[in-house]
Amino acid sequence: MTWSFMLSASQIVFERYFEPVFLPVNFSLGGGELLLVTGANGCGKTTLIRVLAGILYPTSGKIDNGFGAMAYVGHYLGIKDDLSVLENLRFMRDFLGTSKRSCKDVIELVGLSRVAEQQARTLSAGQRKRCALARLLVSESRLWLLDEPYSNLDLEGVELVDRMLTHHLESGGACVLATHGAHRPDWKNTHDCHLVSGASI
């Protein structure tokens, strides 16, 4: 199998308060590949993901994203409390202009059917996470950027993430996943990116 899409990063540096957050990062990631970003607390996993997402502008280095549209699940989930789960997803679908999948099916897949019509404010932390994961499926992006996707999830939820991930990678997608390491997804094409805090030099 050959995938023509690539995400490559060369010598990525991001400075905050005039200190590099992490040592320069290099990698390239093709379709069907998973990049595991690991490292101690404060080494800049979230920062790197946000740089890759285009939210932060790297101080130096170059990012080439051949995948096109990205989907991102971060610490702030981007769920509106005043909208129901279904409304949240429908908005994202309309906003992104993706319509292949029905929102109800996606909600069932992430196990939120029972609360689909409830306002998001009533959800538990784990349910909110599932709602954000559902957005990944609605977005139909080839590149996923996941920042600590396992946090707040129960065992079943962790399995759900792994299942979604496997399906995404099998169908040629790619994923950058930051985790502090309690759980490692199992996938054959996994690259490791161990971040080292920039303060260590």
Partner 1 sequence: MNTKTAKIAKPRKNALVMFIHKMGSPPWFYNFTGKFIPWLWLIFGVLAAWGLYLGLVKGPADYLQGESVRIIYLHVPAAWMSMLIYSTMAVMAFIALVWRIRIVEILAMTSAPIGAAFTIVTLTAGSLWGRPTWGTYWVWDARLTSELVLLFLYLGVIGLYNAIDEPRKAARAACLLSLVGAVNLPIIHYSVKWWNTLHQGSSISLLGGSSIDASILWPMLIVAVAAKFFYAANLLTRARVKLLEQDMRKGWVRDVLKEKN
Partner 2 sequence: MSAQVAGGSLSGAFFALLRRDLLLAFRRRTELLFPVIFLLVVISLFPLGIGPSPQLLARIAPGVIWIAALLATVISLDALFRSDFEDGSLEQFVISGHPLTLISLAKIVAHWLVAGLPIVLLSPLLALWMNLPTESLGVMILTLALGTPILSLIGSIGVGLTISLKRGGQLLSLLVFPLYVPILIIATAAVMAASDGLPYTQFLGLLLAGLITSVTLAPFAAAAALKISLS
Handedness of CA 75, 78, 82, 83 (dihedral sign): negative
At a CB cut-off of 8 Å and minimum separation 6, what does 162 contact? 185, 186
Size of site (CB under 8 A) for partner 2: 36
Stretch that binds partner 1, among 10-18, 27-35, 89-97, 183-191 (CB under 8 A): 10-18
Q: Minimal distance in Å, beta carbon 18 to partner 1? A: 5
Q: Which is nearer to partner 2, 54 or 200 (CB)?
A: 54
Question: Apex CA 33: angle with CA 70 and CA 151, to 5°?
Answer: 65
Binding letters toward partner 2, positions 84-123, x by CB under 8 A: ---x---xx-xxxxx-------------------------
Does the protein bind partner 2 through residue 19 (CB under 8 A)? no
For 167: left if phi > 0, alpha if psi spans -120 to 50, otherwise beta; the answer is alpha
Query: Should residue 70 be labelled a site residue for partner 2 when binding is judged by CB under 8 A?
Result: yes
Q: Per-residue string for binding with partner 2, 126-145, x by CB under 8 A? A: ---------x----x----x
Contact, 80 vs 120, CB < 8 A?
yes
Check residue 111 for interaction with partner 1 (CB under 8 A).
Answer: no
Adjacent-strand bridge partners of 10? 62
When asked if residue 76 is in the footprint of partner 1 (CB under 8 A), the reply is no
Strands 174-178 and 15-16: unpaired
**Counting contacts by CB under 8 A, is residue 149 touching partner 2?**
no
62 binds partner 1 (CB under 8 A): yes
Contact stretch for partner 2 (CB under 8 A) within 31-39, 76-84, 107-115, 149-157: 76-84
Q: Do the beta carbons of residue 27 and residue 9 sit within 8 Å?
A: yes
Buried b (16+ CB within 10 A) or exposed e, 93-119: beeeeeeeeebeebbebbbbeebbeee
* Contact footprint for partner 1 (CB under 8 A): 15-19, 57, 62, 64, 66
